[in-house]
Structure 1
Amino acid sequence: MAGLTATVARERLQALIPTDHAVIAAEARHDQTRRELDSARRVQAVVHEATRPSRSRKMALDHGSGDRIVGLDAKQLRDSARALCRDHDVARTVLSVLVQNVVGSGIDVIPAPRRRGGKVDRGLAQDLRDAWDLWWDRPEVTWQHDFGKSQQLLFGGCARDGESFFQDLTGRIPYLDHGTEVPFSIEMLEADLIPLDFNDEARNIRQGVERNAWGRPVAWHVYKQHPGDGLYWKAETKRVPAEFICQLANIDRIHQVRGLSMFAPVMNRLRDIQDYEDSERIAAKVAASLCAQIIKGDASGYGSSKDPVTGQALEAAAYRALTMVPGMIGDDLLPGEQIEILDSKRPNPNVAVYINDQLRRVAGGTSTSHSSVSKNYDGTYSAQRQELVEQWGAYAMLGEFFTARTMRPIWTRFVQACLLARIVRLPRGWTQRELMAAIFVRPQMPWIDPLKEALARGEMEDRGWQAPQQNILLSGNDPEEVLRLREDWRDQTAGQSTPQDTNPDDTRASRRSLARALALKEPE
């Protein structure tokens, strides 16, 4: 029985040995595969040099979503940007350049109501234009700013603070006088009035914005008073539906709701420029205080004897001051003494080069042109034109953004208010969208050489590539106003010897002759 049991055990053991070997082999293959995968991951992680750790370079970390970053930094960035624009001339220049080229004196609206495929209704357009011109002077609730200044404040706040807001107020509002016959006003709001620290997960409120399940703002929670008013401020908010609040924000990431300052990438550089200039100014002041030194002569001449010139004991005349005036002669020097003018190496000739290079980077980080920020317009026509053409794309993007987020909503509410007050009437068969058709006139790219620009635009008009109205708009004028003024001039000069319009064919011929003459000149 024992022998049988041993035999059975041996047979069973022999049967299990191949299975164990197979399991061991499979585990070995699995371990090898895992090691190869780990090695591949490690290799993949350091393929890019930017991902390799280094003692001298810190690896960048992701601090979360756009909203989380806004919650961490927006308040401090806003305060820092305001301080820079308040005290730093370069920051102030950057802000002014942005406002001048994006908004200018104010983006205007030229009404162009028309049926689909039809012509512009001139009478209806004139009625809207008259109401718009009247409303332009008092568009906001305080009556302190016209619409051009309101646009500058809104866009300037967006660029500096990261965002700005305005509320639509249409119809009869208690204790509000709209100021014109159009029952429509806007209330401009700074970013401080929407609290960044107001969060309520139960109502899906984050950073003062109440959103639906898709992330679309449905309401804004607004402070009733500005939090910077001081002792009498109360942290009370009111809920305003999102359809009445328009936000103009500098957004960089998807699903980000609140904006960040455009000065964020260049704040440290601006502070460095300020510190460097301050140190150079102090060094120049110290250098200006140092004038000259007297190199003493033989030590034996400084005993207890008297000065042969003044008769004063030398011990009592240890300190001598020479008043430096033009044409002075140092005639009170002792034998062996000489005056050495101190060379302070100031002003530093490299300051302008260094500051100019830093301003170039500031301009790149704030979507402005270097020549406008540095106020340095050196260069040929081609170089200046190239910079202007490249930079104007950035201004056009910001201008379209401002038009979409501010001008179109305001124009829509304005036309609706005109209909509400019966200032204009919707013609039979028209839709409100057809009535609201308009042209938004943004600041246009300036001319570097007016003659060359005019010749180019005239040539495009002759070839049919542009309409005369487009050329007039590109010059910043209203085509209707230009036609009216031309007709008025003809009426005033009728029967007089004032030169009138020339033949269009002769004008084209002379323009082409002038263009050929300019082309023969040497390139700049």
Structure 2
Amino acid sequence: MNLLEKTIATLSPKWAMQRSRNRYVLNTYEAALPSRTHKAVRDNQGANSNVRQSAVSLREQARSLDQNNDIVIGILDKLEERVIGSRGIHIEPQPLNRNGEVNEVLAEQIRKYWAEWSIKPEVTGQYTRPTLERMLLRTWLRDGEVFIQLVKGKVAGLQHGSSIPFSMEALEPDFVPMNSLDDGKTVQGIKLNAWRKPIAYQVYLENPQESQNFSQLKEISAENMLHLAFKRRLHQVRGVSMLHGVIVRLADLKEYEESERVAARIAAAMTMYIKKGDAALYDDESDTAQRQFDIAPGAVIDDLKPGEDIGLINSNRPNTNLASFRDGQLRAAAAGTRSSYSSIARDYNGTYSAQRQELVESFEGYSVLQDCFVAQISRPIYREWLKMAIAAQIIQIPAEVDENSLFNAVYSGPAMPWIDPVKEATAWKERIKGGLATESQAIRASGFNPAEIKRRRIVEIEENREKGLKFDTDLTNSGENVANFNRSLITENDNEEREPKKAEE
């Protein structure tokens, strides 16, 4: 209370209390106050407390939806296509010489061994690198997190998939205990230092979902473990499913669609009933006799008894509002999963401008996920692989290379698809001519490797020159041809100037 309210309290305590309470209400945010239409639901728990209570249930529900819900399957499939793609995250080595130029010899050597290692990069030997990256992404988004153990050097019972002694072991989040005893230093299976930086991970030796004896744990140093988690809050140690905000909506939508389908099936099976008249007109014997009516086009039913009438059961299905309602729910689901409505609903109606606007906006969301994946998975794996390749003396470092630039690389994923290739290609051409972009950027935008495209282009041009082939797409003519072409232009211009003079004479 302020001084005025204290003075009022000496005369009327109730009045002073009401005045003080009303002044307090006026000074707060409206949304913080519960009202008849607003319950003001609050969350006052820490991030790790929420995760401990909900993460396991959320990922189990998400896995069930990934198995049985076509919408969730489509969302995760589309995210795989847009974030990772069919070729995986492309890595273009950029080691520099001391003069700042890219050492193409070393870059080509790295690309060669990286492609060989990418065939069998993990301990089971079942997945290629692009396939494994897509599965890692799906696990991360569906379950909320994924773990990768980096296996280096000679290990008993393990044969690496290439000449470079380096492999990966992908682990689902179940391998790291969620309900371990948290003592401040170990939180949900992850050991932290005084600055809350992970220094070690507790991992089950066996899959707890498939083995009855999974109590035995091993400890893996943080330098040999990668952890990609979907986090929403600071200080959050473990991840939650990306679908956490749309699980209820998608589950309800599936049940509603099933109900509508059942109603439509019932409506498709035509059902008739006989409405009888006065009960005094019927006796017990006539009621037990079975009657049949032949239904055919133009049929006339003339054997009804007095007071009887034939009616049809009409369920008004299929529901004419189902499509618009479903579209609205899918738009909300797209907003909660960094997806686009068109990709989820497979609805591509609209103008070029509308489709491109949606594609541009949705691809920014894909780029955010791609950046997280590259930062936590692709970049650390590439750098550790290159360290092992150099340590094993499989990749030789030339003396002119700057060692500080050994790990330089360009990481790129799927490019935004072109809705109208002619317009897109023209736009890139004008940007390159104006100095606003490079040829490499244009090639990456079409989903290809600039170094590979240029290498193939050089081979084609040289082969065409050797065989005397000329095409309108080959603009790299020899100097002699260009000079002859320029001289022909000059001759034509001279002839055009002389013709008017002759006409005047």
Q: Calculate the TM-score normalised by the size of structure 1.
A: 0.82
1:455 to 2:426 alignment = yes
1:195-245 C-alpha deviation (Å, 9 max, x unpaired): 0111242x71110010011100110011111110143x3211111111111
1:282 corresponds in structure 2 to 262
1:241 corresponds in structure 2 to 221
1:314-342 C-alpha deviation (Å, 9 max, x unpaired): 76753325466xxx442564278886554
Mark the structure with the bigger radius of gyration. 1
Distance in 2 (CA, whole Å) between partners of 1:290 and 1:145 is: 53
Distance in 2 (CA, whole Å) between partners of 1:373 and 1:295 is: 48
1:17-64 C-alpha deviation (Å, 9 max, x unpaired): xxxxxxxx99967989x989955872356x422122224432222241
Q: Partner letter of residue 440 of structure 2?
A: Q
1:15 corresponds in structure 2 to none
2:52 corresponds in structure 1 to 71
2:101 corresponds in structure 1 to 119
Q: Contact 1:171/1:184 (CA < 8 Å) preserved in 2?
A: yes
1:214 corresponds in structure 2 to 195
SS at match of 2:123: coil
SS at match of 2:72: helix
Q: Partner letter of residue 375 of structure 1?
A: R
Distance in 1 (CA, whole Å) between partners of 2:187 and 2:277 is: 80
Q: Contact 1:141/1:187 (CA < 8 Å) preserved in 2?
A: yes
Relative to structure 1, the CA distance from residue 268 to residue 117 in structure 2 (aligned partners, 3 Å threshold; closer, same or farther) is farther
SS at match of 1:391: helix
Distance in 1 (CA, whole Å) between partners of 2:99 and 2:116 is: 30
1:423 to 2:394 alignment = yes
Q: Partner letter of residue 247 of structure 1?
A: H
Pairing 1:114-263 to 2, within 5 Å after superposition? 114-115=96-97, 118-201=100-183, 204-231=185-212, 233-263=213-243
Pairing 1:475-486 to 2, within 5 Å after superposition? 475-486=446-457
Shift of 1:365: 0.6
Distance in 2 (CA, whole Å) between partners of 1:318 and 1:299 is: 18
Long gaps (5+) in structure 2: 11-15, 478-505
2:84 corresponds in structure 1 to 103
2:303 to 334, 338, 342: 334
Q: Partner letter of residue 290 of structure 2?
A: A
Shift of 1:303: 8.8
SS at match of 1:226: coil
Relative to structure 1, the CA distance from residue 48 to residue 411 in structure 2 (aligned partners, 3 Å threshold; closer, same or farther) is same
Relative to structure 1, the CA distance from residue 101 to residue 198 in structure 2 (aligned partners, 3 Å threshold; closer, same or farther) is same
Distance in 2 (CA, whole Å) between partners of 1:499 and 1:61 is: 69
Shift of 1:153: 1.1
1:435 to 2:403 alignment = no
Q: Partner letter of residue 334 of structure 1?
A: D
Q: Partner letter of residue 191 of structure 1?
A: P
Shift of 1:492: 4.2
2:291 corresponds in structure 1 to 319
Distance in 2 (CA, whole Å) between partners of 1:116 and 1:390 is: 40
Distance in 1 (CA, whole Å) between partners of 2:4 and 2:353 is: 72
SS at match of 1:75: helix
Distance in 2 (CA, whole Å) between partners of 1:26 and 1:111 is: 74
Relative to structure 1, the CA distance from residue 278 to residue 115 in structure 2 (aligned partners, 3 Å threshold; closer, same or farther) is same
Pairing 1:348-427 to 2, within 5 Å after superposition? 348-427=319-398
Shift of 1:407: 0.7
Distance in 1 (CA, whole Å) between partners of 2:476 and 2:424 is: 19
Distance in 2 (CA, whole Å) between partners of 1:323 and 1:130 is: 75
Relative to structure 1, the CA distance from residue 199 to residue 115 in structure 2 (aligned partners, 3 Å threshold; closer, same or farther) is farther
SS at match of 1:73: helix
Q: Contact 1:219/1:241 (CA < 8 Å) preserved in 2?
A: yes
Distance in 2 (CA, whole Å) between partners of 1:222 and 1:83 is: 24
1:490 to 2:472 alignment = no
Distance in 1 (CA, whole Å) between partners of 2:470 and 2:273 is: 74
2:494 corresponds in structure 1 to none
1:48 to 9, 17, 29: 29
Distance in 2 (CA, whole Å) between partners of 1:297 and 1:331 is: 20
Distance in 2 (CA, whole Å) between partners of 1:472 and 1:92 is: 31
2:486 corresponds in structure 1 to none
Q: Contact 2:176/2:202 (CA < 8 Å) preserved in 1?
A: yes
Distance in 2 (CA, whole Å) between partners of 1:236 and 1:442 is: 39
Pairing 1:496-515 to 2, within 5 Å after superposition? 499-501=471-473, 503=475
Distance in 2 (CA, whole Å) between partners of 1:135 and 1:186 is: 11
Q: Contact 1:114/1:434 (CA < 8 Å) preserved in 2?
A: yes
Q: Partner letter of residue 354 of structure 2?
A: A
More deviation in 47-56 or 459-468? Answer: 47-56
Q: Contact 1:116/1:434 (CA < 8 Å) preserved in 2?
A: no
Relative to structure 1, the CA distance from residue 44 to residue 412 in structure 2 (aligned partners, 3 Å threshold; closer, same or farther) is farther
RMSD (CA atoms): 3.1
Q: Contact 1:90/1:373 (CA < 8 Å) preserved in 2?
A: yes
SS at match of 1:263: helix
Q: Partner letter of residue 134 of structure 1?
A: E
Distance in 2 (CA, whole Å) between partners of 1:235 and 1:321 is: 70
1:98-142 C-alpha deviation (Å, 9 max, x unpaired): 221111121111112113552111111111111011011100000
Between the aligned residues of both structures, percent identity stands at 36
Distance in 2 (CA, whole Å) between partners of 1:322 and 1:77 is: 56
Shift of 1:499: 1.9
2:61 to 80, 103, 109: 80
| Count of matched residue positions in the alignment of Structure 1 and Structure 2 | 466
SS at match of 2:317: coil
1:53-85 C-alpha deviation (Å, 9 max, x unpaired): 224432222241111111111111111111111
SS at match of 2:242: coil
Distance in 2 (CA, whole Å) between partners of 1:301 and 1:110 is: 92
Relative to structure 1, the CA distance from residue 486 to residue 502 in structure 2 (aligned partners, 3 Å threshold; closer, same or farther) is closer
SS at match of 2:226: strand
Pairing 1:14-29 to 2, within 5 Å after superposition? none
